[in-house]
Amino acid sequence: MKKNIHPDYHEITVVMTDGTSFKTRSTWGAEGDTLKLDIDPKTHPAWTGVHRLMDSGGRLAKFNKRFKDFGIKN
């Protein structure tokens, strides 16, 4: 392997959204830095299964009204 081309791999602390933390090795930051997460598997809808449909400016209602009669006819 070539020398001096790889990033520094060191230990950091990761703090989850609920305040729990763990140590891991990463190329992020510097030795001993703390990475505070805004979103993690405990809060993100992709992992929790809790989804909310946002309707900004009535767009969803407008879409449903426009395409209410659209469908496959037998």
List, for residues 1-36, the tens digit of each pLDDT value.
Answer: 788 898 899 999 999 999 999 999 999 999 999 999
Q: Which residue has the tokens 């933390």?
A: 21
Instruction: Indicate the domain borders of the chain.
Output: 1-48
Amino acid at 26: S
d(CA 35, CA 19): 12
Task: Give this prediction's pTM.
Answer: 0.57
Q: Quick: pLDDT tens for 29-67.
A: 999 999 999 888 887 777 777 767 666 677 778 888 888
pLDDT of the residue at 9: 93
pLDDT of the residue at 72: 61
CATH of domain 1-48: 4.10.80
Strand, helix or coil at 6? coil
